[in-house]
Every structure is written in C-alpha cells, then in structure tokens.
Amino acid sequence: MNEELDRPRLGLTPEPDEERREDVQESEPSEADDWPEPEAESEPADEPEEDEGVPAEEDELPRARGPEHAAGDLRVPDGYGVIEGEPNGARRAVGVVVARFNGGLTGELLARALDALERAGVGREAVTVIPVPGAFELPLAAMALAKTRRYSCIVALGAVVRGETPHFEYVASEAASGLQLAGLETGVPVAFGVLTTENEEQARARLDKGAEAARTALEMADVFSQLRAAAGTTP
C-alpha cells in the first residue's frame, strides 16, 4: 500500500517543477520586452516640443522690434512694389505742437512723445516744441511749422474732454480737420495725437497716444522721403 501511494507522488513531482520553470521563462521575456517601450516613447516626446517652440518665438520677434501705430496683420501679396516707412528718426527734425489746456494730460502726452522720438534716434537739438493755448490752436501752429520746411514731420498733442455743452464737438472736429489740412497743404506729415474722450479717466488710459503719434509722424516722414527719392526729387 505504501509503495502504491509513493509512486504517484514520485510521478507528480517533476510536473509542477516543469510548470514553474515554464512560468518563469514566460514571465522573464515579457518583463524584458516592456523596458524598450518607455524609452521609445520618451525620445520623440521632447523633440516636437523643441521644434514647436521655435516658430512661437519667431512669431514674437516682430513685436519686439517696437510697437506700431496701428497694429494688424496686413500682408501685401508677392510681386507688388511696396514703399513702407519706418519710425527712424536719424537725420530728421521734428516739430511738436502741444496744447496747454488740460495740461495734466497734455504734459504726459508730451513726455511720452519726446521719449519715443529719442528712442527712435531723434536728437533733442532736432526737436522744437511749441505750446499753444488749446487744441483749437494746434492746426495754426502746425501749419506755421510745416511751412518753414525745416521739419520732416509735425506731432500735434492735445486733450479734449467732453463737458456739459456742445463746445467739445466744435473743438475736436476743428482740431482734426485743421491738422489734416496743414499736412495736405504743405506736404509735411502731421500726426494726430489729440485725445477726444468722454472723461478724464478715458484720457488717462490713452496717454500712450503721444508716443504713437510720434512714431506715426516719423513713419510717414520716411514714406515721403522714399517717394521723393523714387521720383528723383530732392527731399
């Protein structure tokens, strides 16, 4: 009886051992096969991020060159002649007319305009500032400066804030049309840096218009210079 019981035990012992060896052999390659997978995923994961970062930086480069008067995504189709000015103040004389009325606002407009001119390369000796009583007198002063032919461009600065009477409409309208007329009649660019707002809070939020007007004047002066050069006339 004992021998019969021992025989099946002896016959069963090698079978579990073989199954355990087979399980070990099957599990080892499965774990080894899992190692390359994270490496294959980690290597290409970094490369697209670096490649995608380059165009994003390139898109930001034009903005770093300096703010424009009128931001936008204007694209001129290829094949056309383009004359585009730059706010470069080298060798340019600039006249600035500024209203004393609302001096707390116009003084800040003037400071920012002068700073923009200096940053653009316009020397202090090349800038003439003419204060006038109010915005209504800006066109007359701009016309007088432009007619001297000593200045490449004119910057007009003022602040007209709406009050309780229609006076606001008359002053703002005449200042705008008069400054445009000064540029049209003399051929000297006149930049409009006159704030026309409902209240002082709106005006203070737009004080950077002084710097924008200065850059606009320089840009238009450069366009006019290029046009004269293309036509073969003296600047």
Q: What is the DSSP string of 140-158?
A: HHHHHHHHTT--SEEEEEE
pLDDT exceeds 80 at position 11: no
In a domain, 52, yes or no: yes
Neighbours of 32 (CB within 10 A): 9
pLDDT digits (tens, 9 = 90+) for 82-101: 888 888 888 899 999 999 99
Sign of the torsion angle spanned by Cα atoms 228, 232, 233, 235: positive
Confidence tier at 125 by pLDDT (50, 70, 90): very high
pLDDT digits (tens, 9 = 90+) for 202-217: 999 999 999 999 999 9
In a domain, 201, yes or no: yes
In a domain, 167, yes or no: yes
pLDDT exceeds 70 at position 58: no
DSSP 55-106: HHHHHHHHHHT---SS-----PPTTS---------TT--EEEEEE-TTHHHH
- The residues annotated with a catalytic role in the active site are 167
CATH code for the domain of 188: 3.40.50.960
Which tokens in the block code for residue 162?
């709406």
In a domain, 16, yes or no: yes
Report the SS3 class of residue 205.
coil
In a domain, 30, yes or no: yes
Report the SS3 class of residue 29.
helix
In a domain, 82, yes or no: no
